[in-house]
Structure 1
């Protein structure tokens, strides 16, 4: 039994088919090159099209410096809000793999559309509308650019919050050797981010300035396509944490239970509370946090009453029948 148990991960991860993940065939460093390559390419694509975006709006969209900077700031802010959506969907419903995969497709569609808006005749401002290097596009041409940018903002919302966590899922915390490797993974992860940002801020900005916007946005689109391919190639090797359901629902349940039991005293011995540290978490794939004295009023939700015991006994009796 012990040898069989050692064959599988002990942290609840599964393979692509939903079976317990086999240690020797999945995860660990064998899965990481595909995740690191994906992150490096994605960051290169993101910084490659965003670093010089103010200049693009000034020269190709005919916007003043203030308007262009404001538009880029709004777009950048959206890129940091959408990860809240992606993280919620990944943890609650889809899992990290499918969230990353789905949002990458949206991301690359946005990059492809932006490349077309800067290179395809009809979407590029006509030469007659340009004066001293500043163009004045039609409303439709401007709209295409902004649709592309906000598709990219939505796409990054599913990648940014999930890739690092998905990489961490490849290492079993219950295995001491893999646990140590997890720290090294994060070193390589942030190294890959900086490499992508460095290339984008130097090489791609030069291309945009001296070669053209079509190439300047086309290269990030191609790089992002490489990121998509890299991610999918590693699919058979990945370990997956199952989504644990909506955290908003669980928070609401705690608040309601605390309000209903507001008049009850909290026992001094926290071991008497429901689901203490000596029990497994009721949420598959989740890790239990240690109890703290912060927000002690919410401990009332875990006070076990006589009614709770009666209801639990009734449920057990129903299952037995």
Structure 2
């Protein structure tokens, strides 16, 4: 069992000194978790950012093969969080799951560093490197468990701590971005300027130090959510029980539905999980909680489930449409690493005696997040709190909706720049590579606004999504639902690729070059950005319907 201390206000302190001590403990626990998160993401981005160049120039792979290997590795890394989340909720608890996957990460980074520094010492240099790489992908599953573990340090029964918990998600995402900034710049510079051995050795050191930091905070952590058994089994039991009783009538009085008779103090029969209030949606599933004469004669969890167990499944079903709305958001967001870069490759990158690669401009997205997080947390939320009366300033659904609108603006800004770029092309006749040194007489820094706006959308939608999926998940499924939210980003990448393929084929019929030809100076990238803006608007319209339909989770306290 993960611990014995309650997360739900059963230990309220009457004494001010004990309250102060609890606050200090929570602050220290949060600090250890945020520093650990920074180190983990520094190590991860220190490997992932420049991985394609290692495969191409050190392992001598072709460009296409190297690119495919990177995407395959990233795809694997998007699945492993679900494995870690399942183990955390079902069997190990969050603390021990984090430690287990940290150990796997340290081993993976160590193998990567050794194979990069002295490939001859390892039998099969490439094989050893890939073994380390996929150990890192498996170990990265701890990253999705870390957010619910950190949020669990706050007492949700206390209004002040609920506010601090909401603030925690903002700073958690900020620590992630600090890690990506250091890993994607300083460590990439070490790899290209000093050597791959040092460049991969530093991530290994960061990974090992993160374990030390996490362990140092053990005494401060509240490990209050014990594993509740397999959530997939509980879901299957509800579906089977409801199907078996398809002809049973659900009573109008919800209090007649079955709940465990020894559930006291608002706690359910599911270990560490509060009882959930019955909701009227998905009434067919309520049949699983209707007790019949046969259930009394032959009790079975596959025939009779508690209201809380049924509501667990309802919570997941309500989350799925919100989750789906994140796919289009992620598809538009990922343009930063694709079409934005293609657009920037044609612009003038010179500033003084330096040339700024187009891909580097994504740092302005990171800087935008670093600016917006404290601005949102310290200025926008207090102002919104006074206007709305909501303890978080905005409801979580409203916060995510604002981010969807802001990303639409980012696509419009990118499209507007593309119109200006095409106008310059037409004026100077620069349709090939015969421009000013291969670049258009238009500075690459005109792209900065679109990156900054994308960063603002992240602060509203991505952080709001993290908080929403944690808060609205059943107590015993919070890690798994947090892992589910991260998969929408992976599917968004696939959706982006599919949109590009469909648009390229549809617009290149009849001998036309289409919107996204190899030479984008002869294409219509502006029309592609307008299409993405339209998809974002349609996605937002669907989201408004989802938000109106959504019923927030309520617990019996």
State TM-score, norm by structure 1: 0.82
Give 1:305 deviation, angstroms.
1.7
2:157 pairs with 1:174: yes
* Distance in structure 2 (CA, Å) of the matches to 1:119 and 1:150: 18
Contact persistence 1:48–1:201 (CA under 8 A): yes
Match of 1:111 in 2: 109
* Distance in structure 1 (CA, Å) of the matches to 2:119 and 2:191: 18
For each residue in 1:173-218, what CA deviation from the matched residue of structure 2 results, as whole angstroms up to 9, or x when unmatched?
0122222211111111111001000111111111111111111111
Match of 2:245 in 1: 261
Q: 2:70 aligns with which of 61, 72, 75?
A: 72
Q: 1:62 aligns with which of 36, 57, 60?
A: 60
For each residue in 1:52-101, what CA deviation from the matched residue of structure 2 results, as whole angstroms up to 9, or x when unmatched?
00000000111011000000100001011011110000000000000000
For each residue in 1:218-267, what CA deviation from the matched residue of structure 2 results, as whole angstroms up to 9, or x when unmatched?
11111111111000000111111111011111112112211221110112
* Distance in structure 2 (CA, Å) of the matches to 1:10 and 1:182: 12
For each residue in 1:97-119, what CA deviation from the matched residue of structure 2 results, as whole angstroms up to 9, or x when unmatched?
00000110110110011001111
Q: 1:29-44 alignment to 2 at 5 Å?
A: 29-44=27-42
* Distance in structure 2 (CA, Å) of the matches to 1:80 and 1:13: 37
Number of matched residues? 283
| Partner-residue secondary structure (3-state), 1:162 | helix
Match of 1:81 in 2: 79
| Partner-residue secondary structure (3-state), 2:144 | coil
Match of 2:399 in 1: none
Contact persistence 2:7–2:152 (CA under 8 A): no
| Partner-residue secondary structure (3-state), 2:284 | helix
Match of 2:292 in 1: 305
Which protein, 1 or 2, shows the higher relative CO under an 8 Å CA cutoff with sep ≥ 6? Answer: 1
Match of 2:92 in 1: 94
Give 1:292 deviation, angstroms.
3.6
2:268 pairs with 1:285: no
| Partner-residue secondary structure (3-state), 2:124 | helix
Q: 1:198-277 alignment to 2 at 5 Å?
A: 198-240=181-223, 241-275=225-259
Match of 1:122 in 2: 120
Contact persistence 2:119–2:125 (CA under 8 A): no
Residue segments in structure 1 that go unaligned for 5+ positions in a row: 1-7, 15-21, 125-138, 313-321
Give 1:311 deviation, angstroms.
5.9
2:31 pairs with 1:47: no
Residues 201 and 211 of structure 1: is their aligned pair in 2 closer, same or farther, counting only changes over 3 Å? Answer: same
* Distance in structure 1 (CA, Å) of the matches to 2:253 and 2:101: 46
Contact persistence 1:27–1:170 (CA under 8 A): no
Residues 123 and 292 of structure 1: is their aligned pair in 2 closer, same or farther, counting only changes over 3 Å? Answer: farther
Give 1:287 deviation, angstroms.
3.8
Q: 1:150 aligns with which of 109, 134, 137?
A: 134
For each residue in 1:250-307, what CA deviation from the matched residue of structure 2 results, as whole angstroms up to 9, or x when unmatched?
1121122112211101122222222399963221222444444443221110112234
* Distance in structure 2 (CA, Å) of the matches to 1:69 and 1:10: 45
Residue segments in structure 2 that go unaligned for 5+ positions in a row: 12-17, 300-557
* Distance in structure 1 (CA, Å) of the matches to 2:291 and 2:137: 46
Residues 274 and 193 of structure 1: is their aligned pair in 2 closer, same or farther, counting only changes over 3 Å? Answer: same
| Partner-residue secondary structure (3-state), 1:29 | helix
* Distance in structure 2 (CA, Å) of the matches to 1:212 and 1:76: 24
* Distance in structure 1 (CA, Å) of the matches to 2:103 and 2:243: 44
* Distance in structure 1 (CA, Å) of the matches to 2:120 and 2:296: 71
Between Structure 1 and Structure 2, the one with more helix by share is 2
Match of 1:18 in 2: none
Give 1:310 deviation, angstroms.
5.5
Give 1:30 deviation, angstroms.
2.3
* Distance in structure 1 (CA, Å) of the matches to 2:188 and 2:7: 46
| Partner-residue secondary structure (3-state), 1:172 | coil
* Distance in structure 2 (CA, Å) of the matches to 1:66 and 1:13: 57
State TM-score, norm by structure 2: 0.48
Contact persistence 2:105–2:135 (CA under 8 A): yes
Of 77-86 and 294-303, the range deviating more from structure 2? 294-303
Match of 2:405 in 1: none
